[in-house]
């Protein structure tokens, strides 16, 4: 029996940290023939990738997708400090354009990137959540709301195009050696201000997410799949991995005011040098705040049953995106002394932020 003909794949968003990983894996895959990538950014220089640079909303997508068997949609406009409403509107428009072009070009499979944040972070969430769990994104988190809306739109489109297989991936937060996204940084900073609250958290290495996308392209998958490493760790353990053992308990109302002000002023403070943005001073997206307070870990049994095996644990993935603290080799007493000094410094920073918010509130 002859081997099946190699498939042709298009990757929208081929230049991001995930897009580059996916493109490299597909170019090297024996079942894949042609790989076309397009993105706003310059050519990533991946051997074997046919690359087109340009805005997705301005490209001739139907021509680009001609003879393409599988379309991988990794495009997202939501970035740190972006206005989430127009960014979400743009993401929805990009999804609509890609789906329409895929339909016109006769694409047979679509792989979409969503997020596990669409389940929302709620006190009554089961641990872990499965694909059958209800989608309840937090209204204040525009990123999660927009992703849930894109899933809804894609679901309607799928009903109108039953011959097209759609695979939707819902990964937990992902990171890698060269990339720690704004969601991870916000969650880390928020956990530092959650007092002694212990919330289960998951961190997915981008290499493992890339293999999940690869399997979605070449495997016999259809429907929704959670993507997460085995098990989870506590938020306290995550902080310890980056050397932050002391935490602060700030009232939620004050924390919301501080984080809202901090998030809005973050770029200005960073540019002027008033508040350098680093591991200990990353502004917290107000929409992510509750995701650090309540559980939203997911089970990826369905994807594993399809043949996916993650290579990294949550601890390994988290550490990969953070340099080990210098005190990692010190004895416990010395680590405690250094952590105490760091806690005092961090506390002063939080108080400074709270006072700044207070002054602005009293001026009104």
pLDDT tens column, 6-49 = 999 999 999 999 999 999 999 999 999 999 999 998 899 999 99
The DSSP element (H or E) to which 152 belongs, if any, is helix 142-160
3-state secondary structure 209-237: HHHHHHHHHHCCCCEEEEECCCCCEEHHH
Both 83 and 215 in a single domain? Answer: yes
For the chain, the domain total comes to 2
The predicted structure's pLDDT at residue 322: 75
The predicted structure's pLDDT at residue 269: 54
When pLDDT is cut at 50, 70 and 90, the band that residue 235 belongs to is confident
Any domain includes 364:
no
Q: What is the largest CA-CA distance in the chain?
A: 79
Q: When comparing pLDDT for 249 and 47, which is higher? A: 47
Long-range contacts formed by 41-47: CB under 8 A, 24+ apart: 41/15, 42/15, 44/14, 44/15, 44/19, 44/20, 46/14, 46/20
Both 219 and 127 in a single domain? Answer: yes
255 is in which domain, residue-wise? 236-292+322-358
Both 225 and 338 in a single domain? Answer: no
Both 12 and 111 in a single domain? Answer: yes
Both 109 and 38 in a single domain? Answer: yes
Q: When comparing pLDDT for 245 and 33, which is higher? A: 33
The predicted structure's pLDDT at residue 176: 87
When the pLDDT of each residue in the chain is averaged and rounded to a whole number, the result is 82
The predicted structure's pLDDT at residue 81: 45
Q: What are 187-211's pLDDT values in tens digits? A: 777 776 665 668 999 999 999 999 9
Residues listed for the chain: 364
Any domain includes 115:
yes
Angle at CA of residue 173, ends 167 and 176, nearest 5°: 105
Q: What mean pLDDT do residues 209-235 have? A: 96
- What gap in Å lies between CA 65 and CA 54, rounded to an integer? 15
The predicted structure's pLDDT at residue 143: 87
The predicted structure's pLDDT at residue 195: 59
- What gap in Å lies between CA 120 and CA 143, rounded to an integer? 11
Check: CB of residue 112 under 8 Å from CB of residue 152: no
Check: CB of residue 9 under 8 Å from CB of residue 72: yes
Both 253 and 310 in a single domain? Answer: no
Angle at CA of residue 9, ends 171 and 225, nearest 5°: 25
Both 248 and 302 in a single domain? Answer: no
Any domain includes 260:
yes
Any domain includes 190:
no
Contacts of 132 (CB under 8 A, 6+ apart): none
Both 53 and 125 in a single domain? Answer: yes
- What gap in Å lies between CA 8 and CA 31, rounded to an integer? 9
Query: Which residues share a beta bridge with 71?
Result: 10, 110
Beta-strand runs (E) in 61-133: 70-73, 109-113
When pLDDT is cut at 50, 70 and 90, the band that residue 292 belongs to is confident
Both 138 and 263 in a single domain? Answer: no
Check: CB of residue 342 under 8 Å from CB of residue 243: yes
pTM: 0.82
Highest mean pLDDT among 73-77, 184-188, 263-267: 73-77
163 has a pLDDT exceeding 50:
yes
Tokens of 96: 């609509």
Any domain includes 271:
yes
The predicted structure's pLDDT at residue 266: 59
The predicted structure's pLDDT at residue 141: 87
Beta-strand pair 223-227/165-171: parallel
273 has a pLDDT exceeding 70:
no
Q: When comparing pLDDT for 100 and 246, which is higher? A: 100
Q: What are 108-120's pLDDT values in tens digits? A: 999 999 999 999 9
Highest mean pLDDT among 84-88, 250-254, 322-326: 250-254
Contacts of 170 (CB under 8 A, 6+ apart): 114, 115, 116, 118, 119, 131, 224, 225, 226, 227, 298
The predicted structure's pLDDT at residue 177: 86
State the CATH number of the domain containing residue 54.
3.40.50.720
Both 224 and 299 in a single domain? Answer: yes
334 has a pLDDT exceeding 60:
no
Any domain includes 162:
yes
Both 310 and 342 in a single domain? Answer: no
- What gap in Å lies between CA 184 and CA 190, rounded to an integer? 10
When pLDDT is cut at 50, 70 and 90, the band that residue 341 belongs to is very low
Helix, strand or coil for residue 247? Answer: coil
Both 338 and 222 in a single domain? Answer: no
282 has a pLDDT exceeding 80:
no
The predicted structure's pLDDT at residue 254: 75
Q: What are 58-101's pLDDT values in tens digits? A: 999 999 999 999 999 999 865 544 445 566 678 889 999 999 99
């Amino acid at each position: 029996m002859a081997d099946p003909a190699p498939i042709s794949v298009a990757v929208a968003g081929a230049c991001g940290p995930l897009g580059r990983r996916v493109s490299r894996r597909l170019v090297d895959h024996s079942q894949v023939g042609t790989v076309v990538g397009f993105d706003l950014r310059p050519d990533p220089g991946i051997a074997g990738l046919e690359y087109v640079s340009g805005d997705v909303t301005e490209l001739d997508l139907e021509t680009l997708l001609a003879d393409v068997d599988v379309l991988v949609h990794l495009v997202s406009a939501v970035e740190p400090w972006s206005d989430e409403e127009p960014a979400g509107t743009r993401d929805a428009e990009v999804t609509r354009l890609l789906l329409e072009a895929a339909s016109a070009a006769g694409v047979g499979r679509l792989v979409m990137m969503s997020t596990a944040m669409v389940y929302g972070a709620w006190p009554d969430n089961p641990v872990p959540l499965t694909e059958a769990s209800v989608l309840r994104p937090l209204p204040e988190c525009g990123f999660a709301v927009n992703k849930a809306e894109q899933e809804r739109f894609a679901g309607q489109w799928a009903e109108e195009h039953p011959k097209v297989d759609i695979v939707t991936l819902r990964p937990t937060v992902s990171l890698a050696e060269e990339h720690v996204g704004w969601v991870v940084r916000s969650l880390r900073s928020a956990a530092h201000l959650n007092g002694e609250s212990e919330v289960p958290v998951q961190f997915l290495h981008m290499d493992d997410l890339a293999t999940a996308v690869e399997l979605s392209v070449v495997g016999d998958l259809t429907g929704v799949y959670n993507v997460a490493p085995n098990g989870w760790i506590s938020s306290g353990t995550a902080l310890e991995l980056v050397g932050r053992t002391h935490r602060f308990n700030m009232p939620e109302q004050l924390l919301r005011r501080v984080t809202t002000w901090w998030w809005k002023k973050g770029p200005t403070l960073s540019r002027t040098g008033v508040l350098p943005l680093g591991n200990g001073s990353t502004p917290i997206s107000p929409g992510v705040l509750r995701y650090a307070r309540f559980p939203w870990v997911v089970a990826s049994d369905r994807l594993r049953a399809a043949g996916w095996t993650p290579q990294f644990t949550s601890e390994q993935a988290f550490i990969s995106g953070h340099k080990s603290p210098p005190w990692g080799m010190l004895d416990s007493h010395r680590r405690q002394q250094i952590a105490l000094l760091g806690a005092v410094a961090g506390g002063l920073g939080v108080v400074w932020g709270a006072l700044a918010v207070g002054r602005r509130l009293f001026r009104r």
